[in-house]
Amino acid sequence: MKSRAAIALEAGKPLTLTEIDVQDPKAGEVLVRIVATSVCHTDAYTLSGKDPEGLFPSVLGHEGAGIVEAVGPGVTSLQPGDHVIPLYTAECGKCKFCLSGKTNLCGAVRATQGQGLMPDGTSRFSLDGKTLHHYMGTSTFSEYTVLPEVSLAKVSKEAPLDKICLLGCGVTTGIGAVLNTAKVEPGATVAVFGLGAIGLAVIQGSVMAKAARIIAIDVNPDKFELARQFGATDFVNPKDYSDPIQQVIVDLTDGGVDYSFECIGNVNVMRSALECCHKGWGESIIIGVAGAGEEIATRPFQLVTGRVWRGSAFGGVKGRSQLPGYVEQYMNGEIKIDEFITHDMPFDKINEAFDLLHEGKSIRTVLHF
Ligand code: NAD
Ligand code: AHE
Ligand code: ZN
């Protein structure tokens, strides 16, 4: 079938809007009509050429929501008409990872996903007879996309798809990093580096966890007002200080924070985020994604003296079993999503959505097919 799509033809260039060919779903696969998708910084990161797994030409996009159009042979858990959120972190429920009880990472389709292919090692996308790669197992920048059954969470049909698409990445990642990865406890002091959708969702999660103090840090002061509305209590622009930012935070907090979250993808800030943690117990969670070849560094003494470095992917959330609950929480008014959406546009304005993100003018732009 034909599908409207935005193609990443080469690194560093705007996406090309075109009509691509999408093949029928094969065994264990599902054809989904994406109703709405947003742009996460990770899409921009991959398009920039910094992602070691980035492939071109490809169909990017991983924060979307849609409706099942057709299912391939052997698919039992989904049927046409079901509302779904694509998952870049699959949940097969059977692999070593899923059975470990220790992680939300799943081994079922991750290897081929990283190669931009479906689990059988082939692509369902082409343009003028030339193969296009899939991306993160989701490729939500095509109106019709094909995913493995294990990469789809079935959600309530009552929920607006143009809002809950943000649960496909940003909102879930930030809240989950607080509740599942850090397990922030009531009364804790939290520092949040980077106030895009991920950082704001970390603030939201910290409020849910009843943190006493939430320090919001960004080099763009325009981000502070929304952070305040989400529940941050302190606001710090590193540009206002000559001291290293970790020293500023340590001085503000009588020795450091209980938890910090890096929501930028900057390895120097990752170091600051670790080093602003309190001696003996402070934990720093890396959420931001760094470019190929970049590495983190600190004095081992920082860890010897009790600080902990962790990472979090999709907030530690198991998509098929837990994302429907996040949708219910949104419907019950327990999770904010609408407040992240600064812009709504038709899908063909997708390159404007990337520009707004790069310029620091948007949190999330929702694109409607
Ligand atoms: P974003 O661009 O909307 O937000 C980043 C924020 O960081 C901006 O407000 C920017 O002003 C601020 N910033 C930049 N440099 C800074 C500095 N030196 N000090 C302080 N603030 C600084 O991005 P986003 O969509 O919120 O994504 C944030 C990061 O999280 C990206 O690296 C993205 O790839 C990553 N991410 C990871 C996961 C995961 O599962 N681990 C999921 C989603 C996104
Ligand atoms: N491909 C990159 C890493 C990218 C990365 O870390 N992705 C995050 C999700 S970002 C969503 O916006 C993630 O969940 N990673 C775990 C996984 O299995 O991909 C690289 O460095 O190769
Ligand atoms: Zn994302």
Which residue owns the Cα nearest ligand 1 atom 39?
313
Measure 267 CA to ligand 1 centroid, in angstroms. Answer: 12
Range of 102's domain? 2-168+337-368
204 with 308, same domain: the answer is yes
* Mean pLDDT of the 306-335 span: 98
Which residue owns the Cα nearest ligand 2 atom 13?
313
How large a percentage of the chain has pLDDT more than 70?
Answer: 100
Q: Is 41 a catalytic residue?
A: yes
122 with 202, same domain: the answer is no
CATH for 212: 3.40.50.720
pLDDT at 267: 98
pLDDT at 74: 98
Which residue owns the Cα nearest ligand 1 atom 35?
288
pLDDT at 256: 98
- Three-state secondary-structure class, residue 69: strand
CA atoms within 13 A on the CB side of 348: 5
* Mean pLDDT of the 184-191 span: 98
Q: Is 276 a catalytic residue?
A: no
pLDDT at 301: 98
pLDDT interval class at 368 (50, 70, 90): very high
pLDDT interval class at 268 (50, 70, 90): very high
Take residue 226 and report the two structure tokens written for it: 């929304």
Q: Is 263 a catalytic residue?
A: no
Take residue 66 and report the two structure tokens written for it: 């849609």
Residue 328 lies in a domain: no
Q: How many CB atoms lie within 10 A of CB 13?
A: 12
219 lines ligand 1 (CB under 6 A): yes
pLDDT at 97: 98
358 with 249, same domain: the answer is no
Residue 322 lies in a domain: no
Which residue owns the Cα nearest ligand 1 atom 20?
218
In tens, the pLDDT along 95-104 reads 999 999 999 9
* Mean pLDDT of the 339-364 span: 98
pLDDT at 87: 99
pLDDT at 287: 99
Residue 16 lies in a domain: yes
pLDDT at 68: 99
pLDDT at 235: 98
Q: Is 106 a catalytic residue?
A: yes
296 lines ligand 1 (CB under 6 A): no
In tens, the pLDDT along 156-175 reads 999 999 999 999 999 999 99
pLDDT at 45: 98
Provide ipTM, 2 decimals: 0.99
CA–CA dist 284, 256 (Å, integer):
11
DSSP string, 196-243: SHHHHHHHHHHHHTT-SEEEEE-S-GGGHHHHHHHT--EEE-GGG-SS
* Mean pLDDT of the 274-287 span: 98
Per the document, the length of the chain is 369
133 with 62, same domain: the answer is yes
Local structure of residue 309 (DSSP, 8 states) = E
* Mean pLDDT of the 222-231 span: 98
CATH for 354: 3.90.180.10
CA dihedral 232, 236, 237, 240 (to 10 degrees): 160
Take residue 93 and report the two structure tokens written for it: 């429920």
51 lines ligand 1 (CB under 6 A): no
Mean pLDDT of the chain: 98
Residue 332 lies in a domain: no
Catalytic residue among 16, 33, 92, 310: 92
Total of domains in the chain: 2
For the whole model, what pTM was predicted? 0.99
In tens, the pLDDT along 46-81 reads 999 999 999 999 999 999 999 999 999 999 999 999
pLDDT at 117: 98
43 with 149, same domain: the answer is yes
